[in-house]
């Protein structure tokens, strides 16, 4: 049988056991990378591999996070970020463009405006003689599986001494209908017993019915509200998101909402539990006041750092080097 590559396409492919294992591995990678010898070891693991970063939607963090994760493992990177510089401008289909990458590179990491494009490419490559792994780094308004992994990792680290993620109350705030980070994380939280989710948004931007139906099916509790201030004291984590208005033109809408009502201001810190946390996938606009950054409960800059380690762990796992890293950890730390 032809060998299939391991892809990372959507969060439905992850189970609870996988989440525990990848977070453990990321913790160990973090430890190993504290020394020069550890960094040199990590950089030797996949230094015979090359990756293509195909990012045709804007990105700072995710692109650089993957770039640094590859560098940590010794993987050499190339990038296409502007389709105008590729043969697509000569009329080539995007499918042919990406298939070309698979002939030069060992891994394709891609961000694309079309919801199912990464999945389509993964299926297409599986039927070729050179099926390299595909990682979805954001697919339109649909999913952002690696962001959900780093969010789970951040929640797990934050609740390490409070019994873990199980049983926690987590609020999502902002443009939940078009925010792929909130959608992916909500789906992934169904893997944890007894969590309760709050979706806090104006009705125009409430969480999509497809996600709510999945939560119903998984028997994960949730509440829909537009009352931001009432919800703050009730929850253990607040996941803020920005208005995704880059989609307005395509959708032909323009909704006039008072964003201020869905923003975390300095005064809200007094309402938040002493051990509650504030998260944000970033980039932010006004959803979180800059004065909040210095509060120890602001977890969004830690989230960025966690993203790099979880992506190292993910890529190492895709190339089946996870066991090797765990062995090194046991022998050297
Ligand atoms: C997000 C994205 O691109 O979906 N950013 C990220 O990857 N951290 C969030 C956003 O753009 O609002």
N-to-C CA span, the chain = 40
Between the CA of 277 and the centroid of ligand 1 the distance, in Å, is 19
Q: Does residue 111's CB lie within 6 angstroms of at least one atom of ligand 1?
A: no
Render pLDDT for 20-52 as a digit per residue (tens, 0 to 9). 999 999 999 999 999 999 999 999 999 999 999
Residue 165 pLDDT: 98
pLDDT computed for residue 15 by the predictor: 97
Distance 66 CA to ligand 1 centre (A): 14
The fold of the 145-304 domain, in CATH, is Rossmann fold (3.40.50)
Instruction: Identify whether 97 is a catalytic site residue.
Output: no
Please state, in angstroms and as integers, the Cα–Cα distance from residue 271 to each residue in 92, 236, 241, 267, 292, following that order: 55, 12, 19, 8, 13
Tell which one of 11, 57, 62, 286 to mutate to probe ligand 1, the residue whose CB is within 8 A of the most ligand atoms: 62
Closest ligand 1 atom to the C-alpha of 57?
3
Ligand 1 atom 8: residue of nearest CA: 281
CB of 62 closer than 6 A to ligand 1? yes
Residue-level pLDDT at 252? 85
Q: Is 144 marked active-site?
A: yes
Residue 76 CA to ligand 1 centre (angstroms): 24
Annotation marks residue 61 as catalytic: yes
CA 127, 86, 88, 94 dihedral sign is: positive
The domain over range 11-143+307-332 is classified in CATH as 3.40.50.1370? yes
Any idea what the Cα angle at residue 100 is, between residues 132 and 13, rounded to 5°?
A: 30
> Can you read off the two tokens belonging to residue 125?
């490559």
Low-confidence ranges of the chain (pLDDT < 70): 1-3
Cα 117–Cα 210–Cα 22 angle in degrees, nearest 5? 65
Task: Please give the angle made by the CA atoms of 271, 274 and 277, to the nearest 5 degrees.
Answer: 85
Q: Cβ(207)–Cβ(177) under 8 Å?
A: yes
Q: Could you tell me if the CB of 282 is within 6 A of ligand 1?
A: yes
Which pLDDT does position 3 carry in this prediction? 62
111 is catalytic: yes
Report the C-alpha gap between 28 and 9 in whole angstroms: 25
Question: Counting atoms of ligand 1 from 1, which one is nearest the CA of 180?
Answer: 4
- How far apart CA 191 and CA 231 sit, in angstroms, is 23
Phi, psi of 64 (to 5 degrees): -70, -30
Catalytic residue among 141, 144, 156, 280: 144
pLDDT of residue 249: 86
Calpha distance 157→150 (Å, rounded): 10
User: What is residue 157's predicted lDDT score, i.e. its pLDDT?
Assistant: 98
- Inter-axis angle of helices 61-72 and 300-318, to 10 degrees? 50
**Burial of residue 250, with CB atoms counted within 10 A of its CB: 0-12 exposed, 13-18 middle, 19 or more buried:** exposed
Q: Give the per-residue pLDDT at 112.
A: 96
Q: What is the pLDDT of residues 91-146, one digit of tens each?
A: 899 999 999 999 999 999 999 999 999 999 999 999 999 999 999 999 999 999 99
Domain residue ranges in the chain: 11-143+307-332, 145-304
Helix 36-45 crosses helix 322-332 at what angle (to 10 degrees)?
160
Cβ of 178 below 6 Å from ligand 1? no
The whole-number pLDDT of residue 85 equals 80
Contact (CB, 8 A) for 51 and 109: yes
In the prediction, which pLDDT does 260 show?
87
Which pLDDT does position 95 carry in this prediction?
94
The reply to whether ligand 1 has any atom less than 6 angstroms from the CB of 180 is: yes
With the most atoms of ligand 1 within 8 angstroms of its CB, the residue from 282, 285, 300, 305 to mutate is: 282
Per the CB < 8 A criterion, the answer to whether 133 and 108 are in contact is yes
Can you give the length of the chain in residues?
Answer: 333
Q: Where are the beta strands (DSSP E) in the chain?
A: 50-55, 76-80, 107-112, 134-139, 169-173, 196-200, 221-225, 237-240, 277-279
Distance 128 CA to ligand 1 centre (A): 31
């Amino acid at each position: 049988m032809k060998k299939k590559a391991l892809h990372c396409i959507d969060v439905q492919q992850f189970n609870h056991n996988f989440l525990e294992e990848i977070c453990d591995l990321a913790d160990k990678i973090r430890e190993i990378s504290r020394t020069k010898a550890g960094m040199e070891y990590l950089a030797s693991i996949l230094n015979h591999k090359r990756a293509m970063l195909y990012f045709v939607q804007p990105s700072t963090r995710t692109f650089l996070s993957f770039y640094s994760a590859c560098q940590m493992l010794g993987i050499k990177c190339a990038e296409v970020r502007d389709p105008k510089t590729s043969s697509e401008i000569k009329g080539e289909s995007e499918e042919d463009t990406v298939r070309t990458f698979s002939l030069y590179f060992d891994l394709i990491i891609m961000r694309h405006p079309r919801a199912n494009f990464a999945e389509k490419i993964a299926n297409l490559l599986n039927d070729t003689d050179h099926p390299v792994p595909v990682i979805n780094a954001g697919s339109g308004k649909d999913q952002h599986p690696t962001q959900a992994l780093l969010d789970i990792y951040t929640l797990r680290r934050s609740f390490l001494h409070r019994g873990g993620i199980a049983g926690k109350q987590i609020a999502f705030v902002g443009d939940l209908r078009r925010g792929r980070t909130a959608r992916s994380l909500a789906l992934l939280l169904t893997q944890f017993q007894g969590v309760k989710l709050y979706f806090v948004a104006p009705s125009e931007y409430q969480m999509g019915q497809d996600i709510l139906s999945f939560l119903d099916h998984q028997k994960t509790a949730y509440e829909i509200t537009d009352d931001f201030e009432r919800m703050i004291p009730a929850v253990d984590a607040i996941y803020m998101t920005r208005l995704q208005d880059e989609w307005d033109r395509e959708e032909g809408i323009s909704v006039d909402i008072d964003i201020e009502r869905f923003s975390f201001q300095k005064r809200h810190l007094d309402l938040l539990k002493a051990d509650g946390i504030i998260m944000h996938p970033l980039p932010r606009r006004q959803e979180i006041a800059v004065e909040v950054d210095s509060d120890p409960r602001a977890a969004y800059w830690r989230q960025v750092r966690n993203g790099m380690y979880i992506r190292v762990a993910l890529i190492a796992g895709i190339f089946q080097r996870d066991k090797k890293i765990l062995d090194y950890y046991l022998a050297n730390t």
